[in-house]
Structure 1
Amino acid sequence: MTKKVVSIAAGEAHTLALTGDGSVFSWGRGTFGRLGTGKETDELSPVRVSFRGGSGGRGEPKFVGVAAGAYHMADDGSVWSWGYNIYGQLGHGEENSSVPKIIEQFKELGAPNSLSRDQNANRQTTPLKVSSIKAGGMMSLAIDNLGALWIWGNSPQPSSTEEEIFSLVSSSSPLPVWDFHGHTVVKVACGNEHVVAAVSAGENFSGTDLVCYAWGNNNHGQLGLGDKEGRARPQAISTFGEDSPWAIYEISCGAFHTAILTHKKSYDQEIESRCWTFGLGENGQLGHGTAMSTSLPEPVDGLPMETILISLDCGLFHTSVLSASGEVWSWGMEKGLGLCPDASLAGDNAGDALFPIRHRCSETPGGLFPVPVQLACGAAHTVLVAGDGEKLWAWGRGRSGVLGRGQTADSFVPVPLMWPSLEAGLKRNYESKASFHRSGSSSSETSAMEELSVLREKLTLMERYATVLHVSIFRKSLDQRNLPKSLYDSEVFDIKRELENVMEAADTDELARLKMFYEGMLSAVKDRLMKRRIQEVVKEYIRSLSLGRQP
């Protein structure tokens, strides 16, 4: 059973991790049953969540996504949830649940993209399949396999008396967002009382045609619409409209602020990745260098322009981003840690971070985290998955064991988690060393171990290089599952044939990106060559003058 982490989600004081075999692990604060262990006790290190007995005799389900809100979580396979349920955010019943329960309502609902309002009301439907989930505050969201959006819990809905005024409505049954009927919802995120979604301009998503919509509470400008008026229904954010030069690929919401990752829809030589923030800024969570709030999206200028950002998440009052090369930055409350001022740093080190602060890995030269995967922010803690899913780091508030280190102390720098695969590796290493010492070591064995260590370092470097190169060309993370089969079946890799296969399977947008990438490199070579020739001519001219000769 693999323990590679493929996805993580952080709640108010707990964390979820999803592994490659479809298992779910949880740790941190256990009140209200938010860990899904059947108890309300804290867990100081990761424990596996059991789904036995809750699947109608079908055996343990395998999950493909996790999400965590303030006091509840939902997992996708079908959809399961557990924890705090005062507003119906679990999608079943009225009571809290300390064990996972399937959301039965999805079996009785049909996708609004394929049904009329009347058909949905009459329940003439087929079971709904969910492909993505999100949670935040006291609400939950799901995107089904047809690209329709559903929402439940304490969520913004049009007022019953005045449709232009929003109100928070509690519902334990998933409600369709009809405004996106005929379009495909690709990404969604939510804060305490607001929702932001990336939706296809046409019926289907074709790569870069996403339009960003926002609705709900807007008292700090967190909708990015240029004012502080709430919205009952989704309204397009003009900065990321259909005609925008920026293409959205990641969205996250804090309590009262929003962050978005984009890249240029067209480029000549380099990909330009950019982070935008808006909303409440009084703790520096916008990263703009001030504690001012803003109601329009503004770029975070403190990040290197050449950096390719692959993951983004917001805590309540802090924000963090991760680059393809393994760099991590945070900003906001208490040096970007999200900690409350009375429980964290002191002296000159105290205070909110108005600009991004980089976190470094103490285990590698240059402080880069090897083969980065994803990061997630809780209310006052941050968790990072790297090492191609085999290593986890955490920092921030340690209360209730939320850092997964087997203790409750805060940490101001990234520290490794007691992840199951790490513990097993340490045990094997210990047993190996014990056997090694019992049998006696030889110089050849020592040399072999040193060589193995060097090879591992080289492998990590090559994996990082491959990831950055893949993101640069295809604008998506390298996924081992999508590698050519010939790499595994043969010692010879036919690059020409594989490139032809890639071009044959690529859609129009992907081919256009490949063309631009190649042309960008070609023009760069021409420019460099011209500069080199000019430099040589100038050098020769100066050398001739110094010798008293006319060039």
Structure 2
Amino acid sequence: MDYAVPLSRKVIAVAAGEAHTLALTGDGCVFSWGRGMFGRLGTGSEADELFPVRVNFDCPSRSKEERLKFVGVAAGAYHSLALADDGSVWCWGYNIYGQLGVSGENSAVPCLLEQFVELASPDSVTDKSETKSKAPPKVCSVKAGGMMSLAIDNLGALWMWGNCPQQSSSDEAGFFLVSTVTPKHVWDFHGHTVVKVACGNEHAVALVSAGETYKGDDLVCYSWGNNKHGQLGLGDRESRLHPEIIKTFNEDSPWAVYEVACGAFHTALLTHKKRVSDTLESVCWTFGLGDNGQLGHGTTQSAVSPEPVKELQQYVYLISVDCGLFHTSVVSSAGEVWSWGMVKGLGLFPDASFAVADSGDAVSPLLISCSRPQWPKFQDPVQVACGAAHTVLVAHDGYKLWSWGRGRSGVLGNGKTVDCFSPTVVLWPPLTEDFRQEELKTSGVTEIDKRLSLAMEEMNLLQSKLSLMERYAGILHGSIFGKPFEEQDIPASLQRFGTFDVAKEWENMLEAADRGKLIGLEMFYQNILAGVKDKLMKRRIQEIVKECLHSSSMGRQ
């Protein structure tokens, strides 16, 4: 379709985090919107953004005319990545596990990952003769998920950093997640080309060439990491520290894998038959945790091996798949979108705003219709992306964005903070400041405009207070439980009825906690108790000293 509009208005890629979204435009700019906590939007503050705003990148080595052009974006739970055309990787947001690739605290502005700058330097090539025939390695793809970040370079090597599965340095065997601020080369794929990769909270899946170079339909599927729910698709629940081939998609498989996505604890793949037929059709395979129907198999059972999503429409070609925390979405080349999983496939947590007839998880694919009844399909679809509880679709060849699901903190980019149970249009392209000023000059500022401006100021103030309270709650929650505060951590009684029985909820939490969490809580409260006892002892000593001094002075009188 031919659109007479500039590339600055065309979205070529999107990525969704826990409660934020990134968009990449055809002219190489990055936009973000949604929750700003931990600086994940890259705007320099932790304020929420209800509409898409442009992310600015400080690159002293370039003038404004030579600004960086970006070619890739990725979103973890609370952090973001952007890849420039020169191979430089920029990261911002939450950094407690080193997922930004830099030392220090969270960053509300993009930080340059220095290791990949050194990687692209000719001095980094040990054999100088190679530089004449082969360009130095540089990053050509980035990905993120949970608390980890990944990158693939132009030589097909995979790099990982953040909270990653690694071998323990001690003699103790078993599965461990190790925090590393420095990108580590995954040597298991040496001699092969990593083409695509995806990761969840604690696992990763990679599409790798069977031989040294990628030749088309020769991709083999590897997985590694935590496998408690079967999310590795290896037929068991044993975790893996090193990549292992998923037999369903090995070199001899009749299926060619071309897309991969990971949710928190489940995985989805898109395949087509290696033998080309008259009709090119797709099959979506899922495995891992199925408690909320996120596998689309018609049940809430988990699956340790890949199984096809049978109830998807036949004879369609799926162009994109993505997974949220507990939901999955796919889009076909014809513009049909299907979702399944938690609360009608929206990824939303059970909420009082749902009528009884509307509640319940979708264990099989549901068709998501466009808002136009006469045309339920989305025209010229490009990509679908899933956050924790929201979904974003790029359609109209990149010139129109749709979103649905959780709307709090402006996650949907439509200027509102309410949940949407059907697709709503994202404000795209965003209004530029020049456009806003020109609009004011031509139309004049009316009394309604003034009132609207005051209302917006009040709303921004309330949002600022809410952001501060969320940060305070997050710090407390992180101190006790060792992980950031998320919406699913809110007790169900408080969500549904507005009441909170501390003793009962505490008992329920202890009952559901595993041994590791109980040990962590015990250590935390022992430290608090020791501190309280120490303070009480000091206060008592001070009181005794005061009493002695008072008695002494009375005796002298």
For this structure pair, what is the TM-score category when the shorter chain's length is used for normalisation? Answer: 0.7 to 0.9
Structure 1 position 178 matched with structure 2 position 178:
no
Q: Secondary structure at the match of 2:343?
A: helix
| Aligned 1:56-455 pairs, distance under 5 A | 56-59=61-64, 60-77=67-84, 78-109=88-119, 128-161=137-170, 165-342=174-351, 345-363=354-372, 365-420=374-429
CA distance in 2, matches of 1:229, 1:343: 38
CA-to-aligned-CA distance 1:148-206 (integer Å, 9 cap, x gap): 00000001112224697331111111000000001000010000000000000000000
Aligned to 1:43: 49
CA distance in 2, matches of 1:187, 1:163: 32
Letter paired with 2:368: H
Contact 1:309 1:322 in 2 (8 A): yes
Aligned to 2:536: none
Contact 1:106 1:128 in 2 (8 A): no
CA distance in 2, matches of 1:87, 1:4: 34
Contact 2:92 2:106 in 1 (8 A): yes
Q: 1:16 aligns with which of 22, 28, 37?
A: 22
CA distance in 2, matches of 1:44, 1:421: 11
CA-to-aligned-CA distance 1:65-111 (integer Å, 9 cap, x gap): 10000110110111101011000000112211101111011123479
Change in CA separation of 1:423 and 1:106 when aligned onto 2, cut-off 3 Å: closer
CA distance in 1, matches of 2:205, 2:354: 33
Contact 2:371 2:422 in 1 (8 A): no
User: Any gaps of 5 or more consecutive residues in structure 2?
Assistant: 1-5, 129-133, 444-557
- Deviation for aligned residue 1:348: 1.0
Q: Secondary structure at the match of 1:108?
A: helix
> Percent of pairs identical after alignment?
66
CA-to-aligned-CA distance 1:279-331 (integer Å, 9 cap, x gap): 00000000000000010000001111111000000000000000000000000
CA distance in 1, matches of 2:167, 2:353: 41
CA distance in 2, matches of 1:141, 1:267: 32
User: Any gaps of 5 or more consecutive residues in structure 1?
Assistant: 120-124, 435-551
CA distance in 2, matches of 1:166, 1:103: 28
Contact 2:137 2:155 in 1 (8 A): no
Contact 1:69 1:137 in 2 (8 A): yes
- Deviation for aligned residue 1:271: 1.6
Residue range with higher mean Cα deviation, 8-17 or 414-423: 414-423
CA distance in 2, matches of 1:395, 1:26: 16
Change in CA separation of 1:158 and 1:315 when aligned onto 2, cut-off 3 Å: same
Letter paired with 1:29: R
Contact 2:260 2:321 in 1 (8 A): yes
CA distance in 2, matches of 1:400, 1:157: 35
Contact 2:120 2:138 in 1 (8 A): no
- Deviation for aligned residue 1:57: 3.8
Using structure 2 for the length normalisation, give the TM-score: 0.72
CA distance in 1, matches of 2:135, 2:97: 27
CA distance in 2, matches of 1:255, 1:10: 13
Letter paired with 2:337: V
- Deviation for aligned residue 1:128: 4.2
Contact 2:330 2:339 in 1 (8 A): yes
Q: 1:32 aligns with which of 38, 41, 44?
A: 38
Aligned to 2:522: none
CA distance in 2, matches of 1:259, 1:343: 30
CA distance in 2, matches of 1:190, 1:338: 18
CA distance in 1, matches of 2:430, 2:410: 19
Across the aligned residues of Structure 1 and Structure 2, the Cα RMSD in angstroms comes to 2.6
CA distance in 2, matches of 1:13, 1:115: 40
CA distance in 2, matches of 1:65, 1:422: 23
Contact 1:334 1:344 in 2 (8 A): no
Change in CA separation of 1:140 and 1:343 when aligned onto 2, cut-off 3 Å: farther
Letter paired with 1:102: L
Q: Secondary structure at the match of 2:351?
A: helix
Q: Secondary structure at the match of 1:105?
A: helix
Change in CA separation of 1:55 and 1:385 when aligned onto 2, cut-off 3 Å: farther
CA distance in 2, matches of 1:163, 1:74: 34
Change in CA separation of 1:164 and 1:310 when aligned onto 2, cut-off 3 Å: farther
Q: Secondary structure at the match of 1:420?
A: coil
CA distance in 1, matches of 2:140, 2:113: 14
Change in CA separation of 1:355 and 1:206 when aligned onto 2, cut-off 3 Å: same
Using structure 1 for the length normalisation, give the TM-score: 0.73
Q: Secondary structure at the match of 2:24?
A: strand
| Aligned 1:517-528 pairs, distance under 5 A | none
Change in CA separation of 1:196 and 1:273 when aligned onto 2, cut-off 3 Å: same
Residue range with higher mean Cα deviation, 203-212 or 153-162: 153-162
Aligned to 1:464: none
- Deviation for aligned residue 1:219: 0.1
Letter paired with 2:426: L
CA distance in 2, matches of 1:86, 1:357: 37
- Deviation for aligned residue 1:346: 2.5
Q: Secondary structure at the match of 1:355?
A: strand
Letter paired with 1:376: A
Change in CA separation of 1:348 and 1:279 when aligned onto 2, cut-off 3 Å: same
Change in CA separation of 1:366 and 1:163 when aligned onto 2, cut-off 3 Å: farther
- Deviation for aligned residue 1:366: 3.1
Q: Secondary structure at the match of 1:341?
A: coil
CA distance in 2, matches of 1:235, 1:248: 16
CA distance in 2, matches of 1:55, 1:287: 49
Alignment: residue pair count: 422
